[in-house]
């Protein structure tokens, strides 16, 4: 299965999602200039769906 499948299942089952800080740091640096527009668009989607994905302060780290 793909990581996105695991995330979708966790959200449906209202389970916590744990992410290692190394993964978070690595993913933050992976956006290139060509992808910045897409990343901004995806960020705006996060703002539209807070009831589904929760607030960033709700994330367990």
Q: What percentage of the chain exceeds 90 in pLDDT? A: 16
Residue 3 pLDDT grade (very low, low, confident, very high; cuts 50, 70, 90): confident
For residues 56 and 25, which has the higher predicted lDDT (pLDDT)? 25
Q: Is the pLDDT of residue 16 over 60?
A: yes
Domains in the chain: boundaries = 16-48
38 vs 28, more confident = 28
Hunting for tokens 């769906």 — which residue is that? 49
Q: Pick the closest to residue 52 from 4, 5, 15, 12 (CA basis).
A: 12
At residue 11, the pLDDT reads: 94
Between 29 and 15, whose confidence is greater? 15
User: Of how many residues is the chain composed?
Assistant: 61
Cβ-contact 11, 52 below 8 angstroms: yes
Separation in Å, CA 13 to CA 3, 5, 7, 10: 15, 12, 10, 5
pTM score of the predicted model? 0.39
């Amino acid at each position: 299965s793909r990581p996105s499948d695991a995330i979708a299942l966790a959200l449906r089952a209202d389970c916590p999602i744990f992410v290692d800080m190394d993964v978070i740091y690595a993913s933050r640096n992976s956006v290139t200039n060509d992808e910045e527009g897409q990343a901004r668009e995806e960020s705006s989607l996060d703002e539209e769906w807070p009831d589904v994905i929760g607030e960033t302060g709700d994330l367990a780290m």
